[in-house]
Amino acid sequence: MAITILPPVVEDLGPYQADSDSDDSMSDISDSDVDMDSASRPQKRARTVSKKLGDGVVIPGQVVTDDPQWMRGHGTYINPLSTSIIATVAGNVEKTNKLLSVRPLRARYNPEIGDLVVGRIVEVQSKRWKVDIAAPLLAQLPLSAINLPGGILRRRTSTDELQIRTFFSEGDLVIAEVQSVHQDGSASLHTRSLEYGKLRNGVFLAVTGTGGSKAGSSSKGGSKSSSAVPGAIPGIGGVVRSRRQRWSLIAENGGGEIDVVLGVNGYIFISKHVDNAAAMTNTDSVSHNRMEELVSSTIYSSQNDEIPMQTRREIARLSQSIQVLVQHGVRVDEDTVTKAYRASLQVDIEMGDDDEEEDEGREYLEGSKARQIIEIVLHGK
């Protein structure tokens, strides 16, 4: 069947809180709602919150605490002449020593120094590029912050400025590191490492990167959503900062080695693994300097290598697996991606036993397949 048409899904939000562990706080709040005694109400709510401080969900305008011992952090404000800290975003209350901040449930990416990001060049200026990294402001990549061809420590010349488009031009994808964050929140990137530079040989994928939500928050069970997968909360998935943002894995079905780059900003690139350095060092005669030169001359090429069909297939499967994770609100990191990928293979084999004739679009993961994958990823079934 070429087309699948589903009835509309009614998002049933009713039982979301009912069986969660925050039952008592719910009853407290509803008590205070019933209780129309205006004098006692603010106090009561404040007390409620401060009692539950740290693991509650607050909404904008809600008093987080009126205890003056706390310091105001991100996502909160203090009215003048008062000591109560009020939330400005909806999210989880977080405490760092005496600093109180509210971390939004779903945030846009805010660059921090040292982040590994994937970005797309949107504008070329005379001495720098403007890069889209899914942050509120475009990041900048100065010409002086890239590896210029012909030696890693060469000074930038006016010739380089003239041929700035030969390094990166509009639309190119780069992998870079956040070097500094300016006052206004915009980032400055650098690619001064052989690890960084232009991306090719693969596919790009943008997921709602949060860079914010703590790894633990999404895997905690207890919610019921329309996807009916326990443990998955819609809207909380995404890439988080983790130990390894970039790794390669050996694909099944003869796919060879595949590189995955999870940009902290939610931009993901999946490509065939190309071992530049290994290829170079095979020939012992080339000196170290020469190697640098060779690497940097290929680093700005837009030319793809020969990519076998099997690898392409597995790359597509991998990107689908990540999509599934994101759609079901599971955080994306090395562990979950690998699990989801293995799970999709496993599900496929099971499906293949069920019906043989359904050979078309086997790689398309949706509906029941996606649910099974999530089950396996979260619970190891």
Partner 1 sequence: MNDRRRVNGPAEGTRRPVFACHVDTASAPTRPQRQREPKAFRKIALETGLTRSASGSSYIEVQPSPPPASYNSLIPHSSSLKLACSVHGPKPLPRSAAFSPNLVLTTHVKYATFATRKRRAHVRDASERDLGVHLETALRGAIIADRWPKSGIDVTVTILEAEDDRWWADAPDSHDASWGMMNVLAGCITAASAALADAHIDCLDLVTGGMAALVSDDENPDAPPKLVLDVDPSEHRSIVAACVVGYMPGRDEITQLWLKGDSSNAVLEDGDKRTVHEALIDGAVTAAKSVHAVLAEVVRESILAAGQ
Partner 2 sequence: MSSQRQASSAAQVPHLSPAELSYLYTSLALPQNPIRPDGRSPTQFRPLSAESNILPGTNGSARIGFADGTQAIVGVKAEVERTVLISDTLDVDQDAETVEGAEESASAATGGHGSWVQMSIEIPGFRDDDALPVFLAEMLRESLVGSVGGNEDNGERHMAGGLKGRLVINKRWHWRLYIDVLLLSQPLSYPLPLLSLTTHLALLSTKLPKLKSTGEEDPFFDDDWAAAEYLYPRSSTINSNPSQQVRPPVTLLVISVGENVIFDPSREEIAVADAVLAISFTRNSDSDTGTDEPLKLLLTQRGIANSETENGNGPDSAAAAEEETPGVWRPRRGGIKRSVLAEMMKTALKKGGVGEEVLAGLEGVEVA
Residues that bind partner 2 (CB under 8 A): 1-9, 120, 122, 132, 165-166, 169-173, 198-204, 300-307, 309, 312-313, 316-317, 319-320, 323, 360-367
C-beta of 140 vs 210, nearer to partner 1: 140
- What does 2 interact with, of partner 1, partner 2, none (CB < 5 to 8 A by kind)? partner 2
- Closest approach of Cβ 134 to partner 2, in Å? 12
- Closest approach of Cβ 210 to partner 2, in Å? 18
Rg (CA), the chain: 25
C-beta of 21 vs 161, nearer to partner 1: 161
- What does 303 interact with, of partner 1, partner 2, none (CB < 5 to 8 A by kind)? partner 2
- Closest approach of Cβ 122 to partner 1, in Å? 9
Pairing, β 128-132 against β 85-87: unpaired
Compute the Cα dihedral for 364, 369, 373, 376 and give only its sign. Answer: negative
- What does 124 interact with, of partner 1, partner 2, none (CB < 5 to 8 A by kind)? partner 1
Amino acid at 270: I
- Closest approach of Cβ 280 to partner 2, in Å? 20
- Binding string to partner 1 for residues 119 to 158, with x set by CB under 8 A, is what? ----xx----------------------------------
DSSP codes joined into one string, 218-268: HH------TT--TT--TT--EE---S-SEEEEEETTTTEEEEEEE-TTSEE
Task: Tell me if 93 sits within 8 A of 53, measured CB to CB.
Answer: yes
Rule CB under 8 A: choose which of 23, 33, 170, 363 binds partner 1: 170
* C-alpha–C-alpha distance, residues 241 and 212, integer Å: 8
Count, residues in the chain: 381
Residues 65-124 contacting partner 1, CB under 8 A = 123-124
- What does 203 interact with, of partner 2, partner 1, none (CB < 5 to 8 A by kind)? partner 2
C-beta of 51 vs 165, nearer to partner 2: 165
- Closest approach of Cβ 89 to partner 2, in Å? 23
* C-alpha–C-alpha distance, residues 279 and 295, integer Å: 10
- What does 6 interact with, of partner 1, partner 2, none (CB < 5 to 8 A by kind)? partner 2
Task: Tell me if 70 sits within 8 A of 85, measured CB to CB.
Answer: yes
- What does 316 interact with, of partner 1, partner 2, none (CB < 5 to 8 A by kind)? partner 2
C-beta of 171 vs 216, nearer to partner 1: 171
**Residue 70 DSSP symbol:** S
Rule CB under 8 A: choose which of 79, 169, 193, 302 binds partner 1: 169
Residue whose C-alpha is closest to residue 199's, from 119, 316, 111: 119
CB atoms within 10 A of CB 3: 4
Phi-psi region of 157 (alpha: psi -120 to 50; beta: other; left: phi over 0): beta
> Which positions ≥6 away from 91 have C-beta within 8 Å?
57, 58, 75, 102, 103, 104, 105, 107
- What does 331 interact with, of partner 2, partner 1, none (CB < 5 to 8 A by kind)? none
- What does 305 interact with, of partner 1, partner 2, none (CB < 5 to 8 A by kind)? partner 2
* C-alpha–C-alpha distance, residues 77 and 84, integer Å: 9
C-beta of 355 vs 360, nearer to partner 2: 360
- What does 194 interact with, of partner 2, partner 1, none (CB < 5 to 8 A by kind)? none
C-beta of 184 vs 360, nearer to partner 2: 360
Residue whose C-alpha is closest to residue 233's, from 325, 344, 169: 325
Catalog residues that contact partner 1 under the rule CB under 8 A.
Answer: 123-124, 169-170
